[in-house]
C-alpha cells in the first residue's frame, strides 16, 4: 500500500452505532469488523462510547446510593471535567502528535509492511500496544518528570467510574514516542483502532462494585487489581500498571493482589485538595520546578528528573517506603460542604456544558474552527468556575456571575451563528440565553459559607 494512504493524521471520523460502541468498551470487537485500510475509516470509538459512559455512571451512582454511600458530586464533575479538558485538545487538533509521528515513521522508515486486514496483524498490535502501555505507565510512575503528565489521573480520592475519565491533558505528548516501534511494520490504521480500544477497556475497571471475576483475574486487569494501583496505602504504591492484560505485571514483578484485610485508600500521597480543573492538571508542574531548582548539585538534579517522585538525595531510586504517610482509618477526603441548591445549580450547568461540547464534537467536521474553539473556551471557563464554587473560593460567586452575564450577552448577540453552528433551533438558543440571564440574577443563593472541611470516607 502506498504511503500516501497514510497522509491524514486527523482521521477517526465515523461514530460507531450504539451496540457496537458498547462492545468496543470491553474490547469485544472482532478483527474483521475493526480492521480498516486507512485512518480516515477508523471510527471514533471514544465518541461512540460517550453515551455508555454516562449510562454506566448513572447506574453505578444509583447502586451506590441504594447502598448508602456518599455521592460526592464535586469529585464526579471534576473527574468528568478533566476528561473533557483532555479531549478538548484533540478536538482542537492540538493532540495529534502521536498519530503524526506514527504515520511519519511508518511512511518513511518501516522495515516491513504487515497486511492491515490480517487477523494476525490485529492481534499483534493488541498485544504490542498493551505491552508498551505497561512500560510507559510504569515509567510514568517511576520517572519523576513523566509523573507530571500522569498524576492528574490519580488525584481523585474516590474510586468510581468517573475516576476513569480524570485524564491528563499532557500525557498523550509524553507517550507519543512509546509506540513507534510498532510503526516499523504495522499500518497506522491498526494503531488508530487499538489506541482507542485499549483506553476504553480501562473505563469499567474503575469501580468498587465489582469484587472478583474468577479465573479471569489471572489474565485480565480487573477492578480489584486496579483498585490497588489507585491506592495510596504503602503496599499499593508502584503496583499493577497493566491496561488490559495483568500478565505483564505478573511477568515483571509489579503485581500486587488486593488485601481484603486493609481497605484501599485512594488518591495522591500528597492530596491536591482542590476541584479546580486547571490546578488538577498543572499545579504539580510548579511544585516539580520548585523542587528541581532547590535540589543541590548537577547530578542530583539529573537524578531528580529520572528517579521516582519520592526520591531525595541519599535515598533509593524510588524513594524510601518509610516516607510514605501512614494511612489513617477511616481516611479523610477533601470535601467542602456546599448546599444542595449549589450542587443542583452546578449539575445543571455542567450538563449544559457537556451537551454543547458533544454537539461540537459531533459537528466539528462541518462547522468553522471558530465555533469549535468558542465551544471549548465555554466548556473550559465553565469547568474553572465550577471548581471555584466547589472549593468555596471567596471570589467564586463573582466569577460565576460574570460567566453567566457574559454568556447571556454572547448567546444573544450571536444567536443566529450559534444556532447554525450547533444545529439547534434558534428558539432553543434564545431559551439558553434566558437561562444564563436567570442564572446571573439568581446568583448567589448557593455556597455562602467560605469554610471547608474534610470528611471521613
Residue 13: pLDDT band (50, 70, 90) is low
Q: Please tell me whether residue 455 adopts helix, strand or coil conformation.
A: strand
Q: Please tell me whether residue 231 adopts helix, strand or coil conformation.
A: strand
pLDDT average, residue stretch 316-332: 84
Question: Range with the lowest mean pLDDT among 43-57, 308-322, 362-376, 439-453?
Answer: 439-453
pLDDT at position 273 is 95
- Cα-based angle 169, 28, 197 (whole degrees, multiple of 5): 20
Phi and psi at residue 454, to the nearest 5°? -105, 145
Q: Whole-prediction pTM value?
A: 0.90
Share of residues in the chain with pLDDT > 70 (%): 93
Q: Please tell me whether residue 427 adopts helix, strand or coil conformation.
A: helix
Q: 408: closest CA among 388, 433, 426, 438?
A: 433
Q: 386: closest CA among 71, 80, 50, 65?
A: 80
Exposure of 289 by Cβ count < 10 A (0-12 exposed, 13-18 middle, 19+ buried)?
A: exposed
**Higher model confidence: residue 155 or residue 1?**
155
Residue 115 and residue 140: Cα distance in Å, rounded?
Answer: 32
Q: For residue 340, what are the CA distances in angstroms to 158, 347, 390?
A: 20, 10, 12
Q: Please tell me whether residue 204 adopts helix, strand or coil conformation.
A: coil
Exposure of 324 by Cβ count < 10 A (0-12 exposed, 13-18 middle, 19+ buried)?
A: middle
Question: Range with the lowest mean pLDDT among 17-21, 223-227, 274-278, 298-302?
Answer: 17-21
pLDDT at residue 457 greater than cutoff 80? no
Amino acid at each position: 500500500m502506498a504511503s500516501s494512504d497514510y497522509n491524514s493524521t486527523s482521521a477517526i471520523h465515523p461514530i460507531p452505532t450504539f451496540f457496537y460502541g458498547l462492545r468496543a468498551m470491553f474490547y469485544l470487537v472482532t478483527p474483521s469488523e475493526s480492521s480498516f485500510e486507512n485512518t480516515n475509516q477508523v471510527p471514533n470509538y471514544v465518541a461512540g462510547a460517550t453515551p455508555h459512559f454516562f449510562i454506566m455512571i448513572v447506574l453505578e451512582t444509583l447502586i451506590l446510593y441504594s447502598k448508602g454511600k456518599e455521592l460526592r458530586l464535586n469529585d464526579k464533575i471534576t473527574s468528568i471535567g478533566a476528561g473533557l479538558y483532555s479531549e478538548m485538545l484533540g478536538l482542537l487538533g492540538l493532540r495529534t502528535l502521536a498519530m503524526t509521528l506514527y504515520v511519519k515513521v511508518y511512511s518513511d522508515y518501516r522495515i516491513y509492511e504487515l497486511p492491515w486486514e490480517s487477523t494476525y496483524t490485529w492481534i499483534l498490535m493488541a498485544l504490542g500496544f498493551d505491552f508498551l502501555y505497561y512500560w510507559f505507565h510504569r515509567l510514568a510512575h517511576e520517572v519523576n518528570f513523566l509523573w507530571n503528565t500522569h498524576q492528574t489521573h490519580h488525584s481523585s480520592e474516590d474510586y468510581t467510574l468517573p475516576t476513569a475519565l480524570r485524564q491528563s491533558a499532557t500525557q498523550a505528548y509524553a507517550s507519543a514516542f512509546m509506540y513507534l516501534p510498532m510503526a516499523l511494520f504495522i499500518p497506522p490504521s491498526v494503531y488508530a483502532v487499538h489506541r482507542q480500544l485499549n483506553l476504553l477497556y480501562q473505563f469499567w475497571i474503575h469501580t468498587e462494585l465489582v469484587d472478583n471475576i474468577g479465573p479471569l483475574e489471572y489474565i485480565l486487569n480487573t477492578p480489584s487489581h486496579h483498585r490497588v494501583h489507585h491506592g495510596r496505602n504503602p503496599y499499593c504504591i508502584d503496583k499493577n500498571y497493566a491496561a488490559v492484560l495483568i500478565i505483564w505485571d505478573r511477568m515483571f514483578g509489579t503485581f500486587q493482589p488486593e488485601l481484603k484485610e486493609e481497605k484501599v485508600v485512594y488518591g495522591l500521597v500528597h492530596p491536591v485538595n482542590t476541584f479546580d480543573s486547571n490546578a488538577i492538571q498543572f499545579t504539580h508542574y510548579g511544585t516539580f520546578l520548585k523542587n528541581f531548582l532547590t535540589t543541590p548539585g548537577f547530578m542530583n538534579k539529573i537524578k531528580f528528573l529520572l528517579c521516582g517522585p519520592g526520591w531525595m538525595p541519599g535515598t533509593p531510586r524510588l524513594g524510601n517506603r518509610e516516607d510514605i504517610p501512614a494511612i489513617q482509618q477511616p481516611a479523610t477526603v477533601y470535601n467542602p460542604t456546599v448546599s444542595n441548591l449549589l450542587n443542583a445549580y452546578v449539575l445543571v450547568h455542567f450538563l449544559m456544558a457537556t451537551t454543547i461540547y458533544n454537539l461540537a464534537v459531533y459537528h466539528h467536521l462541518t462547522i468553522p474552527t471558530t465555533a469549535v474553539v468558542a465551544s471549548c473556551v465555554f466548556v473550559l471557563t465553565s469547568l474553572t468556575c465550577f471548581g471555584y464554587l466547589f472549593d468555596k473560593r471567596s471570589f467564586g460567586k463573582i466569577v460565576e456571575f460574570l460567566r453567566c452575564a457574559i454568556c447571556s450577552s454572547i448567546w444573544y448577540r450571536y444567536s443566529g451563528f450559534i444556532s447554525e453552528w450547533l444545529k439547534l433551533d434558534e428558539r432553543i438558543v434564545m431559551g439558553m440565553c434566558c437561562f444564563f440571564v436567570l442564572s446571573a440574577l439568581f446568583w448567589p443563593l448557593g455556597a455562602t459559607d467560605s469554610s471547608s472541611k474534610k470528611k471521613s470516607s
